[in-house]
Structure 1
Amino acid sequence: MINIRIAVLLVLLSWGSSQAATVSLYPDSSTVNVGDLLSIDIIGSEFIELNSGLIDLGMDAGLQVHSVTINPYWDLADSGYAQSPAIWSDIQFDTLLNPPVSGDVTIGTVVFEALSPGHSVLSILNSSEFYSPFDTIVPDASDSQVSIAAVPLPPAALLFVFGLVWMFRLSGSGITRS
């Protein structure tokens, strides 16, 4: 009977220590113009101990990775590479000298360039991996929505074009100024 009580107590204690960690992209929605750069932070939240990880990002064709910066807290870091136009792979971070991170942390920042108008979704892919010193962590992940607007023609350019059209019409009609 005592063994059953101890087993139940151990199960209850281990149940409460499970991690409810999340990895999210911030901001979770943005609107930019074609040609603009957009910074997205990779945020880890509610980690008990985060020691290292490898992040793969998925994106639509309207976005392209411009640069990746890893938080300098991590002793080892790699900004990854383009596995394909839709996947940025192997953003790596690791602590050797520093203790594991607890709580909330900005893992890094990814800067994207908006290439074409439309709606794009940035995703932390399931192939991403996160580790505590002794275990694999499977956090919840959230996406970021990006709306990319076409760049409007500036009013000054429209005025210039209308001025050129007016000059050509005058020159073709035979009107002369004295």
Structure 2
Amino acid sequence: MKFVAKLLSALAFAGLMASSSASQAAIISFTPDNASVAAGDTIQIKLVGSDFSNGTYGGGLSVSWDASLLSLQSYDTSVFPGDLGLADVGVNTVVDNNAGTLSNLSVASFFDGAPNASFDIAVLTFKGLAAGTSALQASLGQFTSGFDNVWTDYNNDVISLQFAPSSLNVTAVPVPGAAWLFGSVLLGGLGAVRRQRA
């Protein structure tokens, strides 16, 4: 009888541990966080996965930004570990710089890296267009069928995700000091000409 009680207690503890670990969501975030780029320049921002306690085979996501401040020049998923052969099956990835969206980016792999280690998902190259601060937001992507392209672990269980928002600050291009000097000399010269004519 004592053995049964101990067994039930152990099973209850294991269930509690499993439920507590399942409640911890994996995180997809941007790095560097809250970065800056000058208008006219480009910057690379990584999408990074962390706290995937049982690893992952991959999944899909979408990204949005302020189209008046930023333009997405390219995206690269080759940084995601493993074979990407299945990533594009049933997925239509679309970049719309007029709307400020990257829709349905997909990664798939059978990599067997350390489950708790952070890993790169993609590298996004943005160009700054005008001064201001743009929010960067990721969300779950979809298949062309309209179903969510969910992230799954090694047990084929759906992973609960949190998408950490970020921002990208676009700074104005400073006017070089020499240009101010040239402008003041030019204005001074024009003033002298006008005085001579008067």
Q: Same fold (TM over 0.5)?
A: yes
The DSSP-based 3-state class of the residue aligned with 1:23 is strand
% identical equivalent positions: 26
Query: Does the alignment pair 1:170 with 2:174?
Result: no
**Which of 49, 65, 73 is the matching residue for 1:66?**
73
TM-score, with length taken from structure 2: 0.74
What residue in structure 1 maps to residue 15 of structure 2?
Answer: 11
Contact 2:80 2:119 in 1 (8 A): no
Counterparts of 1:42 and 1:24, CA distance in 2:
6
Which residue does the alignment assign to 2:146? none
The structure with the largest strand share of the pair is 1
Q: Which amino acid aligns with 2:171?
A: A
Contact 1:51 1:99 in 2 (8 A): no
Q: Partners in 1 of 2:82 and 2:47 — Cα distance?
A: 14
Q: Which residue of 132, 135, 154 corresponds with 2:153?
A: 132
**Cα distance in structure 1, aligned partners of 2:181 and 2:175:** 10
Q: Alpha-carbon deviation of 1:94? A: 1.1
Deviates more, 1:109-118 or 1:123-132: 123-132
Code of the residue aligned with 1:81 in structure 2: it is V
One of 46, 54, 60 as aligned partner of 1:54: 60
1:91 lines up with 2:105 in the alignment: yes
Q: Is the 8 A contact 1:100 1:132 kept in 2?
A: no
Superposition RMSD in Å: 2.9
Deviations 1:5-26 (A, max 9, x none): 3874663353144253111111
Aligned positions, number? 174
Written as runs of structure 1 = structure 2, the 5 A alignment for 1:96-115 is 96=110, 98-99=111-112, 102-103=115-116, 104-115=118-129
TM-score, normalising length: structure 1: 0.81
Q: Which runs of 4+ in 1 moved over 3 A?
A: 5-11, 77-80, 98-101, 126-129
CA distance in structure 2 between the aligned counterparts of 1:86 and 1:101, rounded to whole angstroms: 34
Structure 2 residues without counterparts, runs of 5 or longer: 142-148
- Per the TM alignment, residue 57 of structure 1 is displaced from its structure 2 partner at its CA by 0.3
CA apart distance, 1:101 = 6.2
Q: Which is further off, 5-14 or 22-31?
A: 5-14
Inter-partner Cα distance in structure 1 for 2:82 and 2:126: 22
Measured in 2, the distance between the counterparts of 1:43 and 1:72 equals 9
Task: Name the SS of the counterpart of 2:115 in structure 1.
Answer: strand
